[in-house]
Amino acid sequence: MTTDRTRPLLPRQPVRWHTGGPGGARRLINRLRARVAEQQRLEAHRLLEADMRGLWREACTGVGLCQYISAAAGLTVRTPRFGGLRLTPTGTSFTVELMPGGEPTDIEAHALRLAHSLGFAGLRVQPMAGRWVRVVLFDADPLASTFALPHAVTGRADDPILLGRREDGALVEHALASPGHVAVQGQNGSGKSQLSYGLLAQLAAAGDVVIAGSDITGLLLGRAWNGTAHRPWQITGSKDLAAHAAHLDRLVGWMDDRLETMPPRVDNIAPTVQTPLVLVVLEEFPGLLRAAQAKDRKLAERITSAVLRLLSEGRKAAFRVLMLAQRFEANAVGGGYARDQFAVRLSFRVPAESLAMLHGDDARRLGPEHANTEPGIAYLSAPGEDCVRLRAPYVGGYGAFCDRIARDGRRAA
Ligand SMILES: Nc1ncnc2c1ncn2[C@@H]1O[C@H](COP(=O)(O)OP(=O)(O)O)[C@@H](O)[C@H]1O
Ligand SMILES: [Mg+2]
């Protein structure tokens, strides 16, 4: 007789359904661990956010960025409202709602003090929708350390070249082929030449760029360029000022030839190897004008009118001017009209008055601080870049510049 009881029992199967098979238990534990870690992260984020909110409120009150409101319970302080904190691998930022009547510039005006109170080196304000802005914090001041120019050259006029590094560490670039002349001002020893060494070193190899111009100091142009295709288009020295005038006239003649032979239905020459972009460098231009004026008024007028023509008509003919001066006073650079032709404007250390002169009244509030800034730090106004502070790349001195030109400078065909 057989019964169910005597039937051999099936081997016991491991219970799998709730863990999802072999290795399932481990996966489950890992999931739980990840969830706990995420909860801990959120909790830490909340604590940090609460901390920052309190610090922000105190910092705003401390610098006077607040409104006092009289309520039944007494006087209360209102500060720009802290929204949410965002932590990403690239940095820390938070949102802020402006106070009634407030503007982003109110925060910018106290940027350094507010950032220091929060334990950071600096901050930048980015407008968002409506009354909200994003305050981006910087751990370290990228302007404080030297920024070496990488060993790179551009091959074409429409490749961007490096102008500098912004306060938030982002690189600022400019393609020479984009329309616009470049103005650089700064007191003696503020970094104009170093910036120019960097710009020209990056451009020296480009097949569709000619680096021409006038340099009474003979350092930026001249000797360093011997043996390159650019040298015949450069004039240096302060002995023969008439030669500078004649040379600038020659460049204007070249521009006129291009304007006359412009193909039909074209109002703008794109740089090519056959019709290269001509960068007319005018190092210490007010010095050239002053020296010419002292010698012969007519000579100075001739120089001024040549430069005015390059500035006003050059853009269409692929001519760009890079003018360097200690300050861009109208009468030192050929008049207010000449000054208005520059789309890209850089100011190294200059008196507050000169900063406002080149960058407009909005820059006035930046004046006192910038008047004492270190060499190599400049304010930039350019299309799409509204008065940003940057550090110019450092080539490594005059010797290093000469080495780069000797190595990279385009040779005559
Ligand atoms: N971008 C920079 N980074 C670091 N140091 C700089 C920079 N620019 C200038 N310097 C320092 O300042 C000095 C003077 O700079 P320079 O360009 O010759 O001034 P400028 O032409 O305005 O008279 C340089 O020798 C260098 O020591
Ligand atoms: Mg100089």
**What does the pLDDT read at residue 362?**
82
Report which ligand 1 atom has the smallest distance to the Cα of 326: 22
Distance from residue 144's CA to the centre of ligand 2 (Å): 21
Distance from residue 188's CA to the centre of ligand 2 (Å): 7
**Cβ 230 vs Cβ 278: under 8 Å:** no
Question: Is residue 135 classed as helix, strand or coil in its secondary structure?
Answer: strand
Ligand 1 binding pocket includes 409 (Cβ within 6 Å): no
**What does the pLDDT read at residue 140?**
77
Distance from residue 62's CA to the centre of ligand 2 (Å): 42
Pocket test for ligand 1, best of 141, 163, 188, 194 (most atoms within 8 A of CB): 194
**What does the pLDDT read at residue 5?**
61
Residue 174 CA to residue 158 CA, distance in Å, equals 9
Ligand 1 binding pocket includes 164 (Cβ within 6 Å): no
Ligand 1 binding pocket includes 394 (Cβ within 6 Å): yes
Q: What is the mean pLDDT of the chain?
A: 91
Model confidence band, residue 92 (pLDDT cutoffs 50, 70, 90):
very high
Residue 301, pLDDT > 70, answer: yes
Q: What is the layout of strands, in order, in the sheet containing 171-175?
A: 171-175, 160-166, 385-391, 377-382, 342-347, 181-185, 319-325, 277-283, 209-215, 234-236
Report which ligand 1 atom has the smallest distance to the Cα of 194: 17
Residue 8, pLDDT > 70, answer: no
What's the average model confidence in pLDDT over 46-67? 96
Ligand 1 binding pocket includes 375 (Cβ within 6 Å): yes
Question: What residues pair up with 319 in beta bridges, in sequence order?
Answer: 278
**What does the pLDDT read at residue 366?**
83
Distance from residue 123's CA to the centre of ligand 1 (Å): 26
Length of the chain: 413
Residue 19, pLDDT > 90, answer: no
Give the Å distances, CA to CA, from 89 to 92, 136, 178: 8, 13, 33
Residue 263 CA to residue 184 CA, distance in Å, equals 33
Ligand 1 binding pocket includes 186 (Cβ within 6 Å): yes
Q: Phi and psi for 164 in degrees, rounded to 5? A: 170, -175
| 186 is annotated as contributing to ligand binding | yes
Residue 63, pLDDT > 80, answer: yes
Across 48-52, 176-180, 299-303, least confident range: 176-180
**What does the pLDDT read at residue 13?**
65
For 202-358, strand residue ranges (E) read 209-215, 234-236, 277-283, 319-325, 342-347
Report which ligand 1 atom has the smallest distance to the Cα of 197: 17
Ligand 1 binding pocket includes 392 (Cβ within 6 Å): yes
The number of the ligand nearest the C-alpha atom of 192 reads 1
Distance from residue 394's CA to the centre of ligand 1 (Å): 8
Question: Is residue 266 classed as helix, strand or coil in its secondary structure?
Answer: coil
Distance from residue 303's CA to the centre of ligand 1 (Å): 28
Q: What is the residue with the minimal CA distance to atom 15 of ligand 1? A: 191
Q: Domains along the chain? A: 45-138 (3.30.980.40), 160-408 (3.40.50.300)
Question: Is residue 164 classed as helix, strand or coil in its secondary structure?
Answer: strand
Model confidence band, residue 395 (pLDDT cutoffs 50, 70, 90):
very high
Convert the pLDDT of each residue in 227-266 to its tens digit: 999 999 999 999 999 999 999 999 999 999 999 988 888 8
Convert the pLDDT of each residue in 334-355 to its tens digit: 888 899 999 999 999 999 999 9
Q: What is the residue with the minimal CA distance to atom 20 of ligand 1? A: 189
Positive/negative CA dihedral, 47, 48, 49, 50: positive
